[in-house]
């Protein structure tokens, strides 16, 4: 998959395709259905599949003082979109000037003039352009006038008739993670949610306790509920990711008077040097809330219990990712 940060003067092979449009934060089951629909149309037309998204996320432009909320910053989002078979990812810079662009101009200049899109695929609630005046109705009118194809994909839901169904959204996934419901988030994502970043040097306190940890900065990621989690940690080695079982703490280290929220990952039966490496951390199960212990010895005893609980949880899960790997488990 090739990534383009512009829409003008694209090479011929990156024009004339089927284009799925959205923010796609999380690349959850609903997003997968939308991109999958675009992929099916692209196959029928013998055209490339493109995905158009925006960076930074529009919410961070309109509400810059909000706390971090991203489920998938660009690096992670691109990886998931590539796995869905996209040929091209168009990442357009979003700022206040871009937000003031007329919806009709966005279609004419970007989608038709730049990408030369043959077919556009969006969700039913897709809005765009100045004051969000662009919508599906506008796209339908312009498609009829200008001759491009348009598909509007209905939302994907979880649940059943007995308990009620819920439209999958990035918002509800964020709520799950803030409430420590990593399995609920996974059910909506189609995979376990993961954080990622470059391992940094810490205070090596964990090593002194017998549990060496890799310290991963949160960056733009959403801050999930503090506590201890069973995880799988993936080290990117070229095109491959090597996954290992582990346990992670998200919190302030209250036993030692910490004040900064940290993600610390202890990988079982691992002794390599991870400093400077990209580490992916898939959140498999929530074990317990964060607790302040009376002493380091008490903490060590509990960390041993955490390790046992994490191994038990991980033994029940096949592979690094998945409760569900596609939209097959949703409706």
> 111, 139, 157 — which closes off a domain?
157
Number of domains observed in the structure of the chain: 2
199 in the same domain as 145: no
**Do 108 and 12 share a structural domain?**
yes
Which pTM was predicted?
A: 0.89
Residue spans of the chain under pLDDT 50 = 256, 322-331
**Looking at the structure, do residues 20 and 129 belong to the same domain, yes or no?**
yes
- What confidence score (pLDDT) does residue 294 get? 66
Of 161, 179, 264, 308, the active-site residue reads 264
- What's the half-sphere exposure (Cβ side, CA atoms, 13 Å) at 160? 2
Residue 39, domain CATH: 3.40.50.620
Residue 292: which CATH number? 2.40.30.30
Print the SS3 string covering 119-133: EEEEECCCCECHHHC
* Residue 328, pLDDT score: 35
Token pair for 309: 């609980």
Same domain, yes or no: 72 and 206? no
pLDDT at 203: 64
pLDDT, residue 210, reads 61
> pLDDT for 172-187, tens place per residue?
999 999 999 999 999 9
Whether 131 and 258 map to the same domain: the answer is: no
Same domain, 311 and 211: yes
Specify whether 153 is located in the same domain as 201.
no
Element counts in the chain: helices (H) and strands (E):
10, 14
Q: Are residues 101 and 200 in the same domain?
A: no
Residue 55 annotated to the active site: no
Domain that holds residue 274: 193-315
Q: Are 252 and 122 in the same domain? A: no
Cα 28 to chain centroid distance, Å, stands at 8
What is the rounded CA–CA span in Å between residue 220 and residue 216? 12
């Amino acid at each position: 998959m090739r990534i383009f940060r512009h829409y003008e003067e694209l090479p011929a092979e990156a024009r004339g395709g089927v284009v799925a449009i959205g923010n796609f934060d999380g690349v959850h089951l609903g997003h997968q259905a939308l991109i999958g629909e675009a992929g099916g149309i692209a196959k029928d037309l013998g055209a490339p599949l493109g995905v158009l998204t925006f960076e930074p996320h529009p919410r961070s432009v309109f509400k810059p003082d909000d706390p971090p909320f991203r489920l998938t910053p660009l690096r992670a989002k691109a990886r998931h979109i590539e796995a869905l078979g996209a040929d091209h990812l168009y990442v357009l810079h979003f700022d206040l000037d871009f937000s003031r662009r007329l919806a009709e101009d966005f279609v004419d200049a970007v989608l038709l003039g730049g990408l030369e899109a043959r077919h556009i695929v969006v969700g039913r609630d897709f809005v765009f352009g100045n004051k969000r005046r662009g919508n599906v109705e506008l796209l339908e009118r312009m498609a009829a006038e200008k001759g491009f194809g348009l598909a509007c994909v209905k939302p994907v839901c979880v649940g059943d008739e007995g308990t009620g169904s819920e439209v999958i959204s990035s918002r509800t996934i964020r709520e799950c993670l803030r409430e420590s419901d990593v399995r609920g988030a996974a059910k909506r994502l189609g995979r376990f949610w993961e954080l990622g970043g470059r391992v940094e040097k810490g205070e090596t306190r964990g090593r002194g306790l017998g549990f060496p940890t890799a310290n991963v900065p949160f960056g733009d990621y959403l801050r999930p509920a503090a506590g201890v989690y069973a995880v799988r940690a993936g080290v990117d080695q070229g095109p491959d990711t090597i996954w290992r079982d582990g346990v992670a703490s998200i919190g302030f280290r209250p036993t030692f008077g910490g004040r900064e929220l940290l993600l610390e990952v202890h990988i079982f039966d691992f002794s390599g040097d991870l400093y400077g490496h990209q580490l992916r951390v898939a959140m498999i199960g929530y074990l317990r809330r964060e607790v302040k212990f009376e002493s380091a010895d008490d903490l060590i005893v509990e960390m041993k219990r955490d390790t046992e609980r994490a191994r038990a949880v991980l033994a029940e899960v096949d592979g690094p990712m998945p409760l569900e790997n596609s939209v097959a488990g949703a409706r």
